[in-house]
Structure 1
Amino acid sequence: MVRGAIAKWALPIDRHKGIYLVLTAEDVGVDRFCVGSCGYHETLAISNHSRVMFGWIGNARKQCVGECAWPFGVGPYGPPSAPLGAPNGDVGIDGMIINIATILAGTATNPFNNGYFQGDRLAPLEAVTACAGIFGPGAYPGYPGEVLVDPKSNVSFNAYGVTNRRYMLPAMWSPSVRSCRTTMG
């Protein structure tokens, strides 16, 4: 899709200024989705001297909510627990926000699969995937950690955006403190 849009000049080409994100609807099936992947990032050669970065993120609302929109769906691992309230009211979209943050962090720190990662180069743990399932202090498998909960709407979140919009963002590995850090510390 990205290659075709670039070939038709439908997208600008400047390999130093961004990443193309392809977001799919809840009823779109994509290879690798729900089977170990909720999204991915790659580079695309557009000439001998130029590459662009792109990422793909799927909407898990109807397909694999427990894997790709956890903690807003019942997860496949850990002790059973009730899902958290999605901060924007749509489990699929709120799951996509978590995965968009993951893909953007991976693209920024390991854009060409030779940057920052831990483990095997063929299956790297990147800045966020090294902290999978951590959204607040005290997290463990099946428990996202201590997050904020709105007492009126019962939605869970750990970050505020523009106009106090609420989001759940994943933890990211911090080399300076050698641990996973969330927006909540």
Structure 2
Amino acid sequence: MGKILKKSQITELSQKMNSKPGSLVLILTDKDVAVEGFCMSNCGFHGSNPKKNSAFIWVGNSVTQCPGQCAWPFHQPIYGPQTSPLVAPNGDVGLDGMIVNIASLLAGTVTNPYGNGYYQGSADAHLEASSACPGVYGKGAYPGYAGELLVDSGSGASYNANGVNGRKYLLPAVFDPSTSSCSTMV
């Protein structure tokens, strides 16, 4: 489909997948693929295919296009407090930034897969489970500070979740409606 894509082409690509009803399609684009709105208004998005009763998530690799926006806190931010970036848990700023965005969009997809599920605010400008807590990864987070995190003693990488085979990840907070606050892994 090329290296310059419109949002509609991402939707079209998701519909070409041989997915079963109720499935989730994950589309990742490489660092040299430009997608409409990427870096300007989003780092990824989710949508649905009503014909197949399925959902999709798209996330781009921002390392060469806008790491300060879509790979923060692993890269210096474009604006705001200029604190030192965190060390990426898996050693790849672009990939670790994608993990953060996948986790955020997965929370939104699970709670609002077809645009009529859980969200806050008006339907035109709603906040989903994770987008209601931007930049919050640990206790005490505020703009420019990701919060109190675990730090790997060997690599110095910051993380808040452990994965398979000892991998470490930084996952965003999600809004907890029972406490009306952002809930983090740490």
Task: Tell me the TM-score normalised to structure 1 length.
Answer: 0.90
Indicate how the Cα distance of structure 1 residues 78 and 57 shifts in structure 2: closer, same or farther if over 3 A, else same: same
Sequence identity percentage: 50
Aligned to 1:13: 20
Candidates 3, 14, 26, aligned match of 2:31: 26
Aligned to 1:114: 116
SS of aligned partner of 2:34 = coil
Can you give the 5+ residue segments of structure 2 that lack an aligned partner in the other structure? 1-9
Native 8 Å contact 1:77 1:141 kept in 2: no
Aligned to 2:3: none
Indicate how the Cα distance of structure 1 residues 89 and 3 shifts in structure 2: closer, same or farther if over 3 A, else same: same
- Paired with 1:79 and 1:3, the residues of 2 have a C-alpha distance of 39
Aligned to 2:41: 36
Aligned to 2:168: 166
Aligned to 1:156: 158
Is 1:73–2:78 an aligned residue pair? no
Can you give the 5+ residue segments of structure 1 that lack an aligned partner in the other structure? none
Equivalenced residue count is 177
Native 8 Å contact 2:11 2:47 kept in 1: no
Deviates more, 1:76-85 or 1:23-32: 76-85
CA shift, 1:103, in A, is 0.9
CA shift, 1:172, in A, is 0.4
- Paired with 2:94 and 2:48, the residues of 1 have a C-alpha distance of 26
SS of aligned partner of 1:26 = coil
- Paired with 2:139 and 2:24, the residues of 1 have a C-alpha distance of 31
**Which ranges of 4 or more aligned residues in structure 1 deviate by more than 6 Å?**
none
- Paired with 1:73 and 1:63, the residues of 2 have a C-alpha distance of 12
Indicate how the Cα distance of structure 1 residues 5 and 128 shifts in structure 2: closer, same or farther if over 3 A, else same: closer
Indicate how the Cα distance of structure 1 residues 180 and 6 shifts in structure 2: closer, same or farther if over 3 A, else same: closer
- Paired with 1:39 and 1:123, the residues of 2 have a C-alpha distance of 16
Task: Tell me the TM-score normalised to structure 2 length.
Answer: 0.89
1:42-87 deviation per Cα after TM superposition (whole angstroms, max 9, x unaligned):
11233xxx43211110101111111111100111343111100000
- CA-atom RMSD, angstroms? 1.5
